[in-house]
Structure 1
Amino acid sequence: MSTDRLWTLQELAKFLGVPTQSIYQMNWKGTGPRSYKVGRHRRYDPRDVQQWLETRSSDAGSGR
Structure 2
Amino acid sequence: MSKTAASPSDGQPDPRLVVLTCQELAEFLKLPSVETVYQWRRKHTGPQGFRAGRHVRFTLAAVLAWMDSQARQDAA
Q: TM-score, normalised by structure 1?
A: 0.84
Bigger RCO of structures 1 and 2 (CA < 8 A, at least 6 apart): 1
Amino acid at match of 2:27: K
Paired AA for residue 27 in structure 1:
R
Q: Is structure 2 residue 27 aligned with structure 1 residue 7?
A: no
Q: Which runs of 5+ in 1 are unaligned?
A: none
Moved over 4 A (4+): none
State the distance in 2 between where 1:21 and 1:56 align.
Answer: 19
Larger Cα Rg: Structure 1 or Structure 2?
Answer: 2
Q: How many residues align?
A: 59
What are structure 2's unaligned runs of at least 5 residues? 1-12
Q: Equivalent of 2:35, from 8, 14, 21? A: 21
